[in-house]
Amino acid sequence: MKIINIVGARPNFMKMAPIIEAMNQHPSTIQHLLVHTGQHYDEKMSQAFFDDLGMPKPDIDLEVGSGSHAEQTARIMIAFEKVCLQEKPDLVIVVGDVNSTMACTITAKKLGIKVAHVEAGLRSRDMAIPEEINRLCTDVLCDVLFTTDKGAGENLLAEGIDANKIVFAGNVMIDTLKKHQDLAARLSLIDQLELKPQGYALLTLHRPSNVDEPAVFKGIAQALHQLGERLPIIFPIHPRTRKMAEQFGLMDILQAKDSSSGIHLLEPLGYLQFLHLMMNARMVLTDSGGLQEETTALGVPCITLRENTERPITCEEGSNVIVGNKKENIIAAAETILSGQPKAATVPEKWDGKAAQRIVDWLVE
């Protein structure tokens, strides 16, 4: 069986790493190639993850880079079609919900190649989010849909997808988290930053809905500035967010005034350093999808600065709350955690470090 595994953007790498590792246990059955679309290309957004996760160098790099959604998607499709024609894989595996996920799915299906989607069935029901469009297009085309929770399977069934295509495998991102937890715990980054365990908040922000509108981004920045007076906020800033903050003149609000409080901007971090900061944080504030799941697995309180989530299980069972992007709601949620009353949380079924194994066992059978 010849398989092409696809990665493109930062949140793909930690999902694909355990799948490759599990495939390597079956050298006589599975021949696999790794294709990187090049959607993310900065050292800190891409190579740092390959190093931290011990991932093999991509066999093929499509080097598509940034662009509008249509440009980026089209460039991936044109380049990946050539790869498919040359390599003639039996199966393409895509993960997550980024533009690379959708572009490679459409390309392979039109050539009659089977596609499997890992992390299928997540739905926010919000078509203003580009990833929701990517998820819908990907899932409707895929031949095998590996899901992270039962709710995702129910979403797919409700859309008329054949139950035989759906495999509840669990969460591959949590495989990677569990594998690296001990290593991350031994890092000294919080000492270097002069922070105490549970003595700071960790922040990420990059959704267009939060950072592309000056008034919205300003409101969030003001809320964070106010919260920064209560505890330090560590903010490894995504390149697009930095660009927008500079453009809107928000860097002053976002910069720390002294070392004991305020917002501390960092460059994007590698996987291990970020995990180290996440596991020691009092709370995480984010608009990322993946962090909602990782904080749930770690039991760290998470405040999600969005109006909805495609990962409701992180709220129903995990440590996540959805607060939107209004200043008073962000502050109120943080105050609840600071007052020592975070919500009770459990880890969802099959977020146990064995999801990739289940996926590969299924493929081999």
Residues tagged active-site: 206
**Choice from 6, 7, 9, 303 touching ligand UD1 (CB under 6 A):** 9
Nearer to ligand UD1, 41 or 168 (CB): 41
Tell me if 12 contacts ligand UD1 by CB under 6 A. Answer: no
CA distance 360 to 364: 6
Report the SS3 class of residue 121: coil
| 326 within 8 A of 316, measured Cβ to Cβ | no
Q: Name residue, tokens 């996987």.
A: 271
Neighbours of 79 (CB within 10 A): 20
* Residue 341: count of CB within 10 angstroms of its CB: 9
- Residue 248 binds to ligand UD1 (criterion: CB under 6 A): no
If one asks whether residue 203 binds ligand UD1 (CB under 6 A), the answer comes out as: no
**For residues 63 and 159, which CB has a smaller minimum distance to ligand UD1 in the complex?**
63
Among 26, 33, 45, 266, binds ligand UD1 (CB under 6 A): 45
Q: Would you count residue 15 as binding ligand UD1 (CB under 6 A)? A: no
> Using the rule CB under 6 A, which residue among 40, 225, 264, 354 binds ligand UD1?
40
What's the CA gap between 291 and 76, in Å, rounded?
A: 26
User: Which one among 53, 84, 98, 174 touches ligand UD1, defined by CB under 6 A?
Assistant: 98
HSE at residue 224, side-chain half, CA atoms within 13 A, is 34
Q: Does 131 bind ligand UD1 (CB under 6 A)?
A: yes
Q: 243 phi and psi, to 5 degrees?
A: -60, -45
Return d(Cα 104, Cα 118) in angstroms, integer: 13
User: Which C-beta is closer to ligand UD1: that of 167 or that of 322?
Assistant: 322
The sign of the dihedral angle between the CA atoms of 141, 149, 14, 71 is: positive
Of 5, 37, 39, 176, the residue at the interface with ligand UD1 (CB under 6 A) is 39
The distance from CA 24 to its chain's CA centroid, rounded to whole angstroms, is 24
Residue 242 touching ligand UD1 (CB under 6 A): no
37 binds ligand UD1 (CB under 6 A): no
Closer to ligand UD1 at the Cβ: 130 or 154? 130
Per CB under 6 A, residues contacting ligand UD1 are: 9-11, 39-42, 45, 66, 98-99, 130-131, 206, 238-240, 243, 288
